[in-house]
Structure 1
Amino acid sequence: MQTESPLPVRDAEEQMVLVDADDRVIGTAGKLAVHRIGALHRAFSVVIWDRSGRQLIQKRARGKYHSGGLWTNACCGHPRPGEDIAAAALRRLEEEMGIACPLESLGTIHYRAELDGGLWEHELVHVFRGTYEGLVAPHPAEVENYCWARLENLRDSIAEDPKAFSVWFRQYVAAQWPMALAAPEG
């Protein structure tokens, strides 16, 4: 007999940082409650490139409480109350993909979008970018699969089957957010 993963419980109990439009902290609330009501909260998104100009993307584990089984950027998440955003991005990159590399902060992006299951994302996203070469060892409770892809192939794949990708990643690519989608120089 299989037992349920502890991740949904952790997700429901995890506290998120609520912010105003200027990224000033206005409180905290439970992760699941925040996504049910669509409250504006602080988040981060990590885009990883290799030296040949390919982006690391992951297929979210099907057991995730939203957007399970969808392709997306290397790592996303939420800082814990009092946690430095850059430190949170590094923590989740290791927890999700099993990798570590220096990250460059690229600024913030604001978006609101409907998710599956009646949930909402309403995030002020701190975007980070890094370059990584080496072994990728994703955590199976977080990531079902991963691959390295060229941006032009990602655009074609999203055009062919948009529902195979997370809503936020589709927005990143559609908006052609240069700060996240351009591979680092060098």
Structure 2
Amino acid sequence: MEMVILVDQNDNPIGTMEKMEAHRKGELHRAISVMIYNSKGEMLLQKRASSKYHSGGLWTNACCSHPLPGEKTEDAARRRLREEMGIDLQPRFAYKFIYRTDLDQNLIEHEYDHVFVGTFNGTPDINSSEVEDWKFVSTEWLKKDIRHNPDHYTYWFRLIIDQLTNKTIDS
């Protein structure tokens, strides 16, 4: 049973809860999102496996997950990037934000999302139980595609793209 870290509006831990229960109840919990760029400035996207418990088959950032109870967010970012994409690097913290949205499967995503950024020029070794496909794209192309096809992307990823500045993506 996977547990998540429940937090208050200031990101202070207030307890733990089983992951699916937290998503059914819409409890605010800590999350991570990792943005990876290559040296050309292109962003690495993953297409979530269709079998995922929510947002299956949608394009999103290189990796997104939850830190385990007692795990630092930066350690979780590195661990999940390795587990999902086969990329072993330590992304750096960029910023954090809160969001809440209703998802498919009658779930509610209410997360205090910690966004990390890193650089990688290789070929990911994807975990097919997590990731269906991947690609590097220019941010210009991505922003245009999100405008025209928002339903192809996860909700939190669209928020992150809206918030991105040159400062957060510089390596």
For Structure 1 versus Structure 2, the TM-score category normalised by the shorter chain is over 0.9
Which residue of the other structure, out of 41, 47, 65, is the alignment partner of 1:59?
Answer: 47
- How far is 1:182 from its partner? 4.6
- How far is 1:158 from its partner? 1.0
Pairing 1:1-186 to 2, within 5 Å after superposition: 13-173=1-161, 175-178=162-165, 182-185=168-171
List structure 1 runs of 4+ shifted beyond 6 angstroms. none
| CA deviation string 1:3-22 (max 9, x = no partner) | xxxxxxxxxx2111000011
Q: Provide the aligned length of Structure 1 versus Structure 2.
A: 171
8 Å CA contact 2:49–2:128 kept in 1: the answer is yes
| Structure 1: gaps of 5 or more residues | 1-12
Distance 2:118 2:152 in 1: 24
Q: Secondary structure at the match of 1:148?
A: strand
Distance 1:76 1:120 in 2: 16
Q: Secondary structure at the match of 1:108?
A: strand
Q: Percent identity?
A: 46
8 Å CA contact 1:102–1:131 kept in 2: the answer is no
Q: Secondary structure at the match of 2:34?
A: strand
Q: Secondary structure at the match of 1:110?
A: strand
Give 1:6's aligned residue. Answer: none
CA RMSD in angstroms comes to: 1.3
| Structure 2: gaps of 5 or more residues | none
8 Å CA contact 2:74–2:90 kept in 1: the answer is no
Distance 2:56 2:91 in 1: 26
Distance 2:169 2:7 in 1: 29
8 Å CA contact 2:60–2:154 kept in 1: the answer is yes
With the length of structure 2 as denominator, give the TM-score of the two structures. 0.96
Q: Which has the larger radius of gyration?
A: 1
Structure 1: which amino acid aligns with 2:127? H
Q: Secondary structure at the match of 1:170?
A: helix
